[in-house]
Structure 1
Amino acid sequence: MQPANLLPCPFCGGPAAVETNQHPSSFLKVPAEYFINCSNDGNACPVSLAFVGPCPTLPEATRRWNTRAKLPP
């Protein structure tokens, strides 16, 4: 699931990707967690761990990803 309003990585301009940790156990009622990260392959992104999360909802993860500050030039 990719939100339509997800901005590119503020560090390299690469595409962002949504990841979800689903907890499929029927014994534990643990909600899903959402992460958004830079999916630029290789060493193109200057930030090795450009991500936000875990977040309880996809809109919260999207808001946090889209409001991060850019690196100074």
Structure 2
Amino acid sequence: MRYIDVQSSHQVCTVKHEVDGKLSLQPGLNYVRSTKAAMAQQLGGSARAVSPLFTADDLALRVRALTRSDLAQLACIGA
């Protein structure tokens, strides 16, 4: 089982193939409390489409719908 990560999580849970051949579950961004479905979809796709995210400010600029509360929740869970 992996952790929720704004760099690699999609809107819904996905199964990932590890280098050792095992499968692991990547929780979806829709599991983040207070995150709305549309926001999770934006986080899971378009926010990473151009290039990887580098900072919380970078994330906030790419996903304008995120509130301070949303950013704090993502930081709290280590996403």
The normalised TM-score by structure 1 is: 0.27
More strand by proportion, 1 or 2?
1
| Higher Cα radius of gyration | 1
The normalised TM-score by structure 2 is: 0.26
